[in-house]
């Protein structure tokens, strides 16, 4: 039996409560939206070959249960664009588009994920079908604007841990930007939970020359966690639990100080403060059980099934009693999982980051929430999920990174993800200038190096390369690095009018170059030597793991910055001794 791969628990791009109500109400036999679908929209919009007659039959039952694929519909067929693709799913027909009567499969999937994640729809993993839950029926049948409707929404939204996380952060800190919340939402140091450092947004706003450029920057520049925050805050605004209030922010990093206004910033309303009491379970406000789906416990990483299983076991272990990390380790061992205490502690911190209440007493921990909806998928055959090489490296690093924040473990994921160049550059620059004392920044634009940093009289020109199977440093990229080195020597505006070299302080007189990637393969050493021979400048290759070990040596004080730059004299890969 093949289990469908769905990603419940994290929602993007599904905003309006009115559309959510229609999606849920479609499952109520003979409701207004159900009738419109059966008698008008589906007959008109969906062809027979795309499932028209079957969809009408499924919506006509007394107990409505519909395959997920029929609800979501298909993607854009060959020969069509997203704007003219035919309607091919029930929820596509529910959602009105801007220029047509329906939307594509992506928004349909987002609204379905939302309805399932907050408990309005029940999802059967074994059959890959959706049906209405009792809470969903209560919501769908409640009159618009009624207390019953508001009550069902309150219960559903407060059962969703990320909503509780956003409310709790606003309760603790008062006024936060989307990026400040995004940096603290999701699993620590893991692909699928990226946030753009706020200083980069402020830098971009300062450099933008027109209002349009500033608007585009604020709309288009965000990480995955920032998108989740934006989506969640759209719900909370409609509920009247938060207000959107622009915030002026000043950030100093890498020798630069930036000030700017972030419009996507939020504060709790008086109503929101009362609602927050349900999250913490204060006095007469009972804590609402949290709905945690297996899928939300890891999203993008290669071994996500293994991580979801491990985290499910940890939650089950800590749901009813206080236990130490050592006891959790023994519990996991009984489940066939060998884990270190540092890994367990990172998971516990991550549980708080996704919105669970984790309480510490002495050296023991307990999850204070009642958890619903969390089940391990039954698999009768197929390989047992195993830990990836990247996760094994993270385990090693967790026991060695005692000074460097573990959120930078994400560099290991990003270094092997060919679609994440920008995030890889951002996190590398953030590690060097935010966590460490280098000055400089990510440049990462046309005809600019990805990252440039310096300390004292030493400078480093960095090229980040994210590749799935390792990086061999092709001659084209070696030539590009040679060009940057020569531009930096010449500093001639006619050679390159963007004058990227101005990132370096006037006191910098010694330069090195570096390639940073997940792993290095092939003849990269020859190309390093080629750059040295042509430019007279020494450099090195360093993988994500060794970059983090180097950062730990620097932050602990065991390595000084002068010695660090000397490591880049090797014209080879930098490998720090593993103890």
Cα distance between residue 289 and residue 160, in whole Å:
9
Dihedral angle over CA of 46, 49, 54, 55, nearest 10: -20
Distance CA 452, CA 547 (A): 15
The answer to whether residue 450 is catalytic is yes
In the set 463, 469, 506, 525, the catalytic residue is 463
Which residue in the list 178, 290, 329, 465 is annotated as catalytic?
465
Is 465 assigned a catalytic role?
A: yes
With CA atoms as reference, report the closest residue to 287 among 167, 163, 155.
155
How far is residue 56 CA from its own chain's centroid? 37
In this structure, the dihedral spanned by the alpha carbons of residues 566, 569, 575 and 578, taken in order and rounded to 10 degrees, is: -30
- Between CA 45 and CA 52 the distance in angstroms is 9
59 Ramachandran zone, left/alpha/beta (phi>0; psi -120 to 50): alpha
Cβ atoms 158, 34 nearer than 8 A: no
Angle at 374 (CA atoms; ends 372, 380), nearest 5 degrees: 145
Q: Quote the tokens at residue 152.
A: 């069902």
- In what side-by-side order are the strands of the sheet with 439-442? 439-442, 451-455, 458-465, 510-517, 539-543
- 463 belongs to the catalytic site: yes
Q: φ and ψ at 249, to 5 degrees? A: -130, 140
Active-site residue among 226, 346, 369, 450? 450
Burial of 109 (0-12, 13-18, 19+ CB in 10 A): buried
Helix (H) or strand (E) holding 548: helix 544-556
> Is 73 in a helix, a strand, or coil?
coil
Tokens of 218: 């604020």
- In a 13 Å sphere around the CA of 368, the CA atoms on its Cβ side amount to 15
The helix (H) or strand (E) run that includes residue 36 is helix 32-36
Cα(361)–Cα(572) distance, rounded to whole angstroms?
A: 48
Nearest in space to 357 (alpha carbons), one of 278, 284, 418, 285: 278
> Three-state DSSP class for 98?
coil
Q: Which residues are designated catalytic? A: 450, 463, 465
């Amino acid at each position: 039996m093949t289990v469908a791969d769905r990603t419940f628990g994290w929602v993007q791009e599904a905003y309006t409560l009115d559309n959510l109500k229609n999606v849920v109400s479609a499952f109520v036999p003979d409701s207004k939206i159900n009738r419109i679908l059966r008698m008008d929209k589906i007959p008109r919009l969906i062809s027979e070959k795309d499932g028209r007659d079957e969809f009408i039959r499924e919506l006509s039952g007394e107990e409505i249960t519909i395959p997920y694929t029929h609800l979501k519909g298909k993607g854009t067929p060959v020969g069509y664009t997203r704007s003219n693709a035919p309607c091919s799913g029930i929820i596509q027909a529910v959602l009105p588009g801007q220029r047509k009567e329906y939307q594509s499969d992506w928004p349909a999937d987002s609204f379905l994920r939302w309805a399932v994640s907050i408990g309005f729809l029940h999802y059967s993993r074994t059959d890959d079908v959706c049906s209405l839950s009792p809470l969903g029926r209560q919501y769908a049948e409640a009159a618009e604007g009624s207390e019953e409707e508001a009550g069902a929404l309150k219960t559903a939204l407060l059962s969703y841990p990320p909503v509780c996380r956003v409310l709790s952060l606003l309760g603790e800190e008062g006024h936060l930007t989307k990026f400040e919340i995004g940096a603290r939402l999701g699993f620590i140091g893991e692909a699928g939970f990226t946030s753009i450092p706020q200083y980069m947004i402020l830098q971009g706003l300062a450099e933008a020359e027109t209002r349009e450029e500033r608007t585009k920057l604020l709309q288009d520049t965000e990480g995955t966690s920032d998108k989740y925050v934006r989506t969640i805050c759209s719900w909370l605004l409609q509920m009247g639990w938060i207000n959107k209030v622009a915030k002026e922010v000043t950030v100093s990093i890498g020798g630069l100080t930036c000030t700017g206004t972030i419009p996507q910033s939020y504060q709790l309303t008086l109503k929101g403060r009362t609602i927050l009491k349900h999250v913490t379970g204060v006095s007469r406000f009972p804590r609402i059980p949290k709905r945690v789906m297996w899928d939300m416990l890891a999203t993008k990483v290669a071994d996500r099934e293994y991580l979801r299983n491990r985290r499910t076991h940890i939650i089950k272990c800590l749901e009813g009693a206080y236990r130490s990390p050592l006891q959790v380790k023994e519990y996991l061992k009984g489940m066939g999982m060998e884990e270190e205490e540092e890994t367990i502690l990172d998971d516990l911190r991550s549980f708080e980051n996704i919105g669970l209440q984790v309480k510490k007493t002495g050296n023991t921990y307990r999850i204070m929430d009642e958890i619903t909806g969390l089940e391990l998928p039954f698999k009768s055959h197929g390989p047992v999920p195993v830990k990836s090489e990247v996760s094994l490296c993270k385990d090693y690093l967790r026991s060695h990174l005692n000074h460097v924040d573990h959120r930078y473990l994400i560099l290991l994921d990003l270094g092997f993800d060919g679609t994440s160049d920008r995030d890889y550059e951002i996190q590398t620059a953030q590690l060097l200038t935010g966590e460490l004392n280098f000055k400089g920044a990510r440049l990462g634009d046309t005809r600019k190096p990805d990252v440039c940093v310096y300390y004292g009289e030493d400078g480093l020109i960095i090229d980040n390369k994210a590749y799935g199977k390792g990086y061999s440093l092709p001659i084209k990229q070696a030539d590009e690095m040679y060009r940057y080195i020569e531009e930096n020597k010449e500093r001639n505006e006619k050679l390159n009018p963007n004058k990227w070299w101005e990132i370096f302080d006037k006191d910098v007189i010694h330069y090195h170059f570096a390639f940073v990637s997940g792993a290095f393969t092939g003849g990269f050493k020859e190309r390093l030597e080629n750059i040295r021979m042509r430019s007279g400048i020494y450099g090195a290759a360093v993988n994500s793991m060794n970059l983090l070990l180097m950062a730990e040596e620097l932050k602990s004080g065991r390595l000084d910055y002068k010695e660090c730059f000397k490591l880049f004299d090797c014209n080879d890969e930098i490998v720090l001794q593993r103890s």
